[in-house]
Structure 1
Amino acid sequence: MRYISWALLILAAMEVISIILVSNLIGGGWTLLLIILSSACGVFMLRNIGLSGLFLAVATIRTGSNVSIYQLLWPLRYVLAAIMLISPGFVSDIFAALLLLPIKGKPLTSASSHPFSRAPQSDQNDIIEGEFTVENDNRQKHHSEGQQHLPPR
């Protein structure tokens, strides 16, 4: 816990240094404009995500799709990047840009082993349920209901 306060203090110092360096490089007015634009982008991102990001994460978990932990935490990354964009300075903007990169990680679980998975079991992949009618050349009709198995491949 005590390292978090040190990290925040170092981040604040780096933010001030980055503002000074960028203002010396491109000018104070342009620096102020960049800070205002990044803050506006952060506010826009926060207004768009709202609680729907959390609902998206829960829906992803419930469907049992094959996702990585990094992808699963997308709503949290998005909100954290928006907060970092709102803070003045350019170091946090760089971290926000890194959080928004679409990096894929290893899959979290396979779809068939997830408890909420709706994927068919491996032994039922050859079953087609439904009704059908077969007409032969001599106009005989055969009607079938129930399960039919596909021929093996």
Structure 2
Amino acid sequence: MRFLFLIFAVFTIVEIAVLVKVGEMIGGWNTIALVLLTAFIGSYFVKREGLQTLQVAQEKMQRNELPGNEIVQGLMLVVAGVLMVTPGFVTDILGILLVLPGTRHYMASHVSKHMKARVVTSGGFGQGPFGPQGNPFDQGPSQQGPQHDSNGDVYEGQYTDKTEQDDNHRLR
């Protein structure tokens, strides 16, 4: 918590110092105009890249693929949008780095690898609560597909019979 506070405090001081320095060089009103201009340009690019990322994610979902990388990129675009509309030049530079496709793809791939490594190491390789390897999307060999009744209705789900568990606890 202290580390996070220290980062925000130092970051704010650096941002103010840069704004003052730029204001001294080009003037106060020009600095304000430049900050507003970068906010409008940044919001345009965030919107454009966000729609493009959403379209790719929808295409992957239609092909029954998980859009994991696109979700990470979408989160990065949200952060970029917040950074771009925050007044200041340091936040604008960080926002631009997250908006540019090349740096965003590079950063998203590293974040995705890091997240996958954490899921694999925390989930283990044994039988998890969801199925083999702890994968919530793998139903395992016991459930090959939905069950149909005589009317053709589909009933899916899992249940635990609590009455048997209660009887076992009473016998002990």
TM-score, with length taken from structure 1: 0.53
Deviations 1:38-74 (A, max 9, x none): 2223444566678x68955854664437x884x5521
Count of paired positions: 108
CA distance in 1, matches of 2:99, 2:48: 15
Look up the match of 1:131: none
1:41 aligned to 2:41? yes
Q: Answer whether contact 1:57 1:72 (CA < 8 A) is retained.
A: no
Q: Answer whether contact 1:42 1:85 (CA < 8 A) is retained.
A: yes
User: What SS is found at the alignment partner of 1:88?
Assistant: coil
Q: Answer whether contact 2:46 2:80 (CA < 8 A) is retained.
A: no
Counterpart AA for 1:5: F
1:77 aligned to 2:52? no
* Larger RCO, structure (CA 8 Å, separation 6 or more): 1
CA distance in 2, matches of 1:82, 1:25: 27
* Larger strand fraction of residues: 1
Look up the match of 1:138: none
How much has 1:12 moved relative to structure 2?
1.0
CA distance in 1, matches of 2:12, 2:37: 19
Look up the match of 1:100: 99
Counterpart AA for 2:23: S
Look up the match of 1:130: none
Q: Which runs of 5+ in 2 are unaligned?
A: 117-136, 139-172
Q: Which runs of 5+ in 1 are unaligned?
A: 110-114, 117-153
Look up the match of 1:19: 19
State the superposition RMSD in angstroms.
Answer: 3.7
User: What SS is found at the alignment partner of 2:87?
Assistant: coil
CA distance in 1, matches of 2:4, 2:27: 33
CA distance in 2, matches of 1:48, 1:11: 28
Give runs of ≥4 in structure 1 deviating > 4 Å.
42-50, 52-58, 106-109
Greater radius of gyration (CA): 1
TM-score, with length taken from structure 2: 0.48
1:105-120 aligned within 5 A: 105=109
Q: Answer whether contact 2:42 2:84 (CA < 8 A) is retained.
A: yes
How much has 1:31 moved relative to structure 2?
0.6
* Larger helix fraction of residues: 2
Q: Answer whether contact 2:46 2:99 (CA < 8 A) is retained.
A: no
Look up the match of 1:125: none
Look up the match of 1:87: 86
> Quick one: percent identity of the two aligned structures?
22
1:49-60 aligned within 5 A: 59=58
Look up the match of 2:148: none
